[in-house]
Amino acid sequence: MFPSTKNRLIPSSFSKQSDKIPLHAMSQPGLAPAGLSDTLYNTLSDWRKRVSSEIQKPAFIVASNALLESISRNRPRTRAELLAVSGLGPAKVEQYGNAILQITTDSKWDGLVHTAAVAVSQHPKLPEAAAQGTVPADNPLLVELKKWRLNLSREKEVKAYRIASNALLEAIVHRRPQTHADLHVISGYGTAKMEFSDAILRMTRDSKWDSLAPWSSEAAMASCPAPAGGTFAPPIGAVSNNACPLLADLKRWRKTKSGEDQKPAFMIAPEPALEEIARKRPSTLSQLAAIRGLDANQVKQSGKDLLELIEYHTQLSSLKRPAHQNVCAEPPASKASRPHEPLAMSLSSSQAASVHDALRQQAAREARYQPTPDAVGMTLTSRPLTAEQQHVVDEAMAGSSIFFTGSAGVGKSLVLRAVVAALRRRYPSEGAVQVCAPTGIAAILVEGFTVHKFAGCGLAKGSAGGLAAHIQKSPKALQRWLDTTVLVIDEVSMLEGLFFSKLEEVARILRNNNRPFGGIQLVLCGDFFQLPPVAQWQGQPDFIFRTPAWRSCVRVMIELTQVHRQSDQNFVRMLNEVRRGQLSEATFFEFRRHCSQPLPPVDGVLPSMLYTHNADVDRENEVHLRNLSGEETVFRATDQGPRDAIQELDKICPAPAALRLKPGAQVVVVWNMGDNIVNGTRGVVVGYKTLCPEELASMV
C-alpha cells in the first residue's frame, strides 16, 4: 500500500519549466516596468517607435519589449556588452547597435537605481538569476562565448544562431563542461556541433572562471528560503534507476549500442532524454521525436529499438494500480495547476524506491515470461523460467549481444527457445531472427540451419573479402544476411575461432556497417567444457572466445547454475567435477565403484552400449530387434519441404525416416519432450497408442 499522498503545486515563479520571471511582474499592473518609468526604458521605447515609423514596420520587428527590458536592466556600454544581451543577435547589433549605445552610454543614467533590483533584494537571498530564470547577461563566460560565436558566424558567413542559440550558450554556462562527454549531454548540443567542441572547451576550462560562483537554476532554488506556509517541493525531474526499471534498461541498451556503434554513450542518447522517455513512455515515433535531446537522426536510427523496449516494459508493468502510484510515469495534471507547473508528492525517495521495487517484483511474478509453442514452432515445456533463466531473456530483449552457458541440465535449451520466441514476437518479419548451429544434428534440434548454410560461404576457405564476394553472387544468401536482425547460434563451442572471425568481417562487408558483426545482435549458447571446435584447416582449432571478434561482439556473458535434470545435489557436484576435469578422490572412487560392475536392467531398460561408428550401432540394434518375438510395426516420417532439403535432412537426422519397432524394443529419445523426458532418455516399447498433442503434453 502507498502511504497517503498530498499533491502540492510548485509556485509558478520557481517552476523548473518557467524560463524567466518577466520584470513587469514585480510592478503594479498597467504600469511600465518598475524602476524604468520615464527613464531608460521609455527612452528606448521612444527610439523604437521612431525607427519603426521610419522603416514602416511594427515596433516588435525592431525590438521586443523583453529585449528593451533586458537592455535597460544591463545598460550595455560597449559593443561586446551589447552582444551579450540575451535576445540581441549580431544582425540587430550591426543594424541598431550604434543608436542603442548612444542612448545607454548617456551619463544621465549613472545615478539610476533600478526598482527591479530592489524588488529582488526584498526576497531574502534570492539570486537575481534565479528570479530571471536565465544566466545573467553580464556573466563573463557568456560574454566570451557570444564573442566567439559572432566571430565564427562572420568567418563562416552564417547567422549566429546557426552556430549556437542563446539558450544553448546559457546551458553551457550553467554546466561549464570540462570534457567532451559533459558537453554532449547538454540538450541541444547535437553531433552537428561537434566541430565546435574543442573551441568551447578551451573557454570553459579556462581557470579564470574558477573564481566565479557556479550558477545553476537548482543551486539558485536551493538558496531561496521557503515562502510563507511551507517548503519548496522539488519538481519531479530526474528518475533514478532504482525507481524506474525502464530507465535502467534504457541505459543498458545505450551502453550496448555504444559499444556496437563504437560511439560515446551520450551520442546514442543523452541522459536527460532517457529520463524523459522513462517518464513519458512514448508509443510512436512522432512522440519520440518530441523528446528533448533526441535529434531526428537518433530517432531514425534507434527509434524502433526504443519503442520496442518501452512496449516490453509496459507489458511487464501492466498491473492495475492507481495512476499516481506509478512513480516512473509523468506526474498527472491537476485542474488547479497550470500546464507547466509539475506536481510533487509527499513521498520520500526511499519510500518511492522501496514501493516501486515491491511493485516490480509483483509485476515480474505475474507477468513472468511464458514461452508458447505458437511463437516459435518449437516444442516447449510448460515450466516457467527461473530468475536466472529470465535474466537471459531480459538481456536478449534489451538488445545485448550475449553468450549464456552452463552444465547439462540447467535449461540451456529451454532458455534458448524462450529467447527465440520472444525475439520473433519482437521482430516478426521473415528472416529477422535466424537460428543455426555448427553441425547438422544440432541445427535440427533448434529447427534452424547449419552456420555454413546460413552464411552461404561453403567451407569458408579464403579471405573474408573473397567470401563476401562469393556470397554477393547468391541473391538468397545475400538477402539472408541483409534481413537478419538477430543471429542465434547454439552449440557455439564447436564453432572454430578463425571461421567466427571471418563471419564477423563478412557481416560488416555485406551489410556495409562497421559495427561488430555488421550490427547484427548475437545470441550465443553452448558449453565450452563439452565438444571442442572441429578443425577446418591445418593446425589446432582455436576457441572463439580467444578471438578479437568475440571480444568486440559479445557484451554480456551469463552462466546458468541451477541444475533441473538431477535433484541429487551430490551427484550434480560429481558431474561438475567430471565436466571440469578436476575429480576429487572421493568422486573418483565413487564412479569407479559403480562403473566396475555390470548394470542390471531397470524396468526392462538395458544399459546403453557405446560404439565409435554408426555402422556398429545400426548392426547391434538390428540384432536385438531381430531376436525379439512379436509383430514388427513400421512408423514412417511425413516430411514436407523442398526435395533437396528433405534429402539433406535424411543424411543428418538422428531419427530414421522409417522407424521399425517391436514390443520390448530398446529406444532412446532424441528430442527434449519435457522435464523428465529429454534428449538421451532411454525406454522400452510396451505398446502403441495414438495421442493428440494435448494428451501427449499431459503425459510428458
Domain containing residue 216: CATH number: 1.10.150.80
Q: Are residues 647 and 670 in the same domain?
A: yes
The pLDDT confidence band at residue 654, using thresholds 50, 70 and 90, is confident
Q: Are residues 317 and 395 in the same domain?
A: no
Query: Which grid cell sits at 523?
Result: 545470441
Residue 102 lies in a domain: yes
Q: Are residues 43 and 145 in the same domain?
A: yes
End position of a domain, from candidates 560, 590, 620: 560
More confident residue, 353 or 71: 71
How does strand 343-344 pair with strand 8-9? Answer: antiparallel
Q: Are residues 179 and 254 in the same domain?
A: no
Read off the CATH number of the domain in which 462 is found. 3.40.50.300
Q: Are residues 444 and 502 in the same domain?
A: yes
Which letter does DSSP use for residue 605 in this model? B
Q: How far is CA 242 from CA 239, 249, 354, 537, 538, in A?
A: 8, 11, 9, 51, 53
Query: Which grid cell sits at 519?
Result: 550490427
Letter string b/e over residues 12-26, b meaning 16 or more CB atoms within 10 A of that residue's CB: ebbbbebeebebbeb
d(CA 392, CA 388): 7
Query: Which grid cell sits at 87?
Result: 535576445
Q: Are residues 68 and 208 in the same domain?
A: yes
Long-range contacts, 65-72 (Cβ 8 Å, 24+)? 66/22, 68/41, 68/44, 69/22, 69/23, 69/24, 69/33, 69/36, 69/41, 70/137, 71/40, 71/44, 71/100, 71/104, 72/33, 72/36, 72/39, 72/40, 72/41, 72/44
Q: Are residues 178 and 257 in the same domain?
A: no
Residue 10 lies in a domain: no
Quick one: average pLDDT of 395-415? Answer: 89
Which letter does DSSP use for residue 207 in this model? G
Q: How far is CA 161 from CA 156, 157, 187, 196, 615, in A?
A: 12, 12, 15, 13, 80
Q: Is the pLDDT of residue 700 over 70?
A: no
The pLDDT value given to residue 38: 47
Residue 653 lies in a domain: yes
Q: Are residues 529 and 654 in the same domain?
A: no
Q: Are residues 429 and 510 in the same domain?
A: yes
Contact yes or no for 506/474 (Cβ under 8 A): no
Residue 309 lies in a domain: yes
Give the domain range for residue 656. 601-699
Residue 97 lies in a domain: yes
- Range name among 5-19, 175-189, 394-408, 517-531 with the lowest pLDDT average: 5-19
The pLDDT value given to residue 566: 67
The pLDDT confidence band at residue 432, using thresholds 50, 70 and 90, is very high
* Number of domains observed in the structure of the chain: 4
Residue 316's closest CA among 370, 240, 269?
370
Contact yes or no for 331/323 (Cβ under 8 A): no
Q: Are residues 148 and 214 in the same domain?
A: yes
Residue 653's closest CA among 493, 452, 445, 491?
445
The H or E element that residue 55 is part of is helix 40-55
Sign of the Cα torsion 513, 518, 519, 520 reads: positive
Contact yes or no for 246/295 (Cβ under 8 A): no
Q: Are residues 395 and 523 in the same domain?
A: yes
- Range name among 218-232, 298-312, 407-421, 432-446 with the lowest pLDDT average: 218-232
Q: Is the pLDDT of residue 522 over 90?
A: yes
For the chain, helix, strand, coil in percent to 5 are 50, 5, 45
pTM for this model (two decimals): 0.41
CA angle 692, 694, 699 (to 5 degrees): 95
Residue 293 lies in a domain: yes
End position of a domain, from candidates 159, 187, 222: 222
d(CA 160, CA 152): 8
The pLDDT value given to residue 484: 94
Contact yes or no for 484/518 (Cβ under 8 A): no
Q: Are residues 62 and 184 in the same domain?
A: yes
Contact yes or no for 21/13 (Cβ under 8 A): yes
Residue 269 lies in a domain: yes
The pLDDT value given to residue 508: 93
End position of a domain, from candidates 560, 585, 613: 560
